[in-house]
Chains A and B, each alone.
Chain A
């Protein structure tokens, strides 16, 4: 009986092992980075009354703040032995996919078929890296 419980636990552990929390954390980091870009773009689209204000306005300040936050989360992910350096770096291009989706809704940018194919390759590549690799 005890043996069965123990084996169940082992299996549960293995299951959680297969899915790395740091992978989600890295995704969060990229979502934050992409949001930061949306803010910077919003600022760039605006007319500003002076050169200084092009850089010192709430959009840019919060945008760069988010960028720093995403860098900190990124570093947490680098530190994870399972995800590791390459596992973290390979997640970075998810940014392109997120930017594509966000800018579709925020700026009404078109999603072309090329972009969809590219996005699928990026996601597929990350899956191959993490599941088969």
Chain B
């Protein structure tokens, strides 16, 4: 787009994606405690805060990157989740499950290819809830 995208920008984008994937970790941790117990609320709150932080970073990212590029990167969330799953929860991952995850990632990437052509109402990107004011999505 206007400015050249450097390695720092790409790292930032991946950073945003990692932050997002951590929200699922917080959700998983909340699930390990009884509904509305102190720790449940704590981790639920954490998930919410992480999502809010993510929304703020994401807002900056879509200024730099085309929405299709940013969204495609967001699909990588699943790979990060697999890493967290491996490191923290170690529930069984079979080769077919990996294949399934890769197919889903491919699907997200393909779905988001070419979304930049239509700048009207890209509802996909309100995933982040951050465009409630409708100030973004006008970067085409």
A residues near B (Cβ < 8 Å) are 36-38, 40-41, 43-46, 51, 54-55, 60, 63-64, 67-68, 71-72, 74-79, 84-86, 88-90, 92-93, 95-96, 99-100, 102-103, 107, 109-110, 112, 114-115, 117-130, 132-133
Q: Is A133's CB under 8 angstroms from B129's CB? A: no
Interface of A, helix, strand, loop or mixed by DSSP: helix
Interface check B5, CB cutoff 8 A: no
A78 in complex: contacting residue of B27, B103, B113, B132, CB < 8 Å: B27
Q: Which residues of A contact B106 (CB under 8 A)?
A: 118, 121, 125
| Contact indicator A78/B121 (Cβ below 8 Å) | no
A89 touches B123 (CB 8 A): no
Q: Count chain B residues whose beta carbon lies closer than 8 angstroms to a beta carbon of A.
A: 51
User: Is A132 in contact with B100, judged by CB distance below 8 angstroms?
Assistant: yes
The smallest beta-carbon distance between A99 and chain B, in angstroms, is 5
Question: Which 3 pairs, one residue from A and one from B, show the smallest C-beta to C-beta distance?
Answer: A129-B100, A118-B111, A44-B134
Interface centre among B107, B110, B127 (most CB of A within 10 A): B107
Beta-carbon nearest neighbor of A77 in chain B = B31
Q: Pick the contact of A85: B81, B101, B110 (CB < 8 A).
A: B81
Closest residue to B121 on the A side, CB-wise?
A107
Q: Which residue of B lies closest to A96 (CB)?
A: B111
- Residue with the highest number of chain B CB atoms closer than 10 Å, among A72, A93, A117: A93
Which of the listed residues A68, A71, A72, A78 has the most CB atoms from chain B within 10 Å of its own CB?
A: A78
Q: Give bound CA distance, A46 to B44, whole Å.
A: 31
Q: Are A93 and B107 also in contact (CB < 8 A) when A78-B31, A99-B123 are?
A: yes
| Chain B neighbourhood of A55, CB < 8 A | 132-133
Complex Cα spacing A3 to B84, Å: 45
Q: Which residues of A contact B28 (CB under 8 A)?
A: 75, 78, 85, 88
Given contacts A78-B31, A100-B124, 7 further A-B contacts (CB under 8 A): A45-B121, A75-B31, A85-B89, A90-B100, A109-B118, A114-B110, A133-B97
